[in-house]
């Protein structure tokens, strides 16, 4: 999928690369969508996704959790970039690719939602924001296309991207006074 940027990737091609028959693929996956979803989940597993999220879970306060989540995601995008671009390229014309991409983006969105649940619990969410809107904002700001524009087109370093996203999200959505109360 990465080599072909998602174009014309068929189950037959995947089976050939894996060294098995097309029928064998369908013995394990009922549909191409299930295969692509399993593929992106496997990539997450192979890249140690759960271990990487541990710092977010162990954060001592909600603002530290936000910083950890942004750092995790900003540094994770380069590792999944090829697969992400392949799925994005196929999104409008391939239901299976769309399902796989939507599955991963829902996981990202769930992580963003978890951060803002913590901020709300700590009474650190800025006045005028609610968890749903803050989640929408963070999820959008952490999009692959925004990362691509800033790091590839504008030449930002990974560190610059992570730090600026952390600051921008805090400026928008965090009650600055709560930062002093949370450490």
What's the pLDDT score for residue 121?
92
- The tens digit of pLDDT for each residue in 148-169 reads 999 999 999 999 999 999 999 9
Higher per-residue confidence, 131 vs 39: 131
Quote the CA–CA distance of 86 and 34 in Å, as a whole number.
16
CA distances from 5 to 8, 22, 43, 81 (A): 9, 21, 16, 10
pLDDT at 58 over 90: yes
Q: Which residues contact 71 (CB under 8 A, 6 or more apart)?
A: 55, 162, 166
pLDDT averaged over every residue in the chain = 87
Quote the CA–CA distance of 180 and 50 in Å, as a whole number.
30
Give the residues across from 125 on adjacent strands: 174
- Closest by Cα among 135, 144, 137, 136 to 77: 144
What's the pLDDT score for residue 182?
45
Q: Structure pTM?
A: 0.82
What's the pLDDT score for residue 183?
45
The CATH number given to 11-181 is 1.10.357.10
Higher per-residue confidence, 152 vs 26: 152
């Amino acid at each position: 999928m990465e080599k072909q940027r998602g174009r014309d990737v068929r189950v037959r091609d995947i089976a050939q690369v894996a060294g098995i028959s097309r029928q064998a693929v369908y013995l394990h996956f009922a549909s191409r969508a299930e295969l692509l979803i399993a593929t992106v989940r496997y990539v997450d597993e192979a890249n140690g996704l759960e271990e990487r999220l541990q710092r977010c879970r162990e954060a001592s306060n909600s603002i530290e959790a936000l910083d950890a989540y942004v750092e995790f995601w900003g540094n994770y995008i380069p590792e999944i970039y090829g697969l992400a671009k392949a799925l994005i390229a196929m999104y409008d014309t391939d239901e299976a690719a769309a399902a796989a991409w939507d599955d991963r983006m829902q996981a990202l969105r769930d992580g963003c939602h978890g951060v803002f649940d913590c901020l709300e619990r700590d009474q650190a969410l800025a006045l005028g924001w609610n968890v749903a809107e803050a989640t929408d904002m963070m999820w959008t700001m952490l999009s692959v296309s925004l990362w691509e524009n800033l790091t590839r087109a504008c030449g930002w370093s990974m560190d610059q991207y992570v730090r600026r996203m952390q600051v921008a999200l805090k400026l928008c959505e965090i009650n600055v006074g709560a930062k002093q109360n949370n450490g």
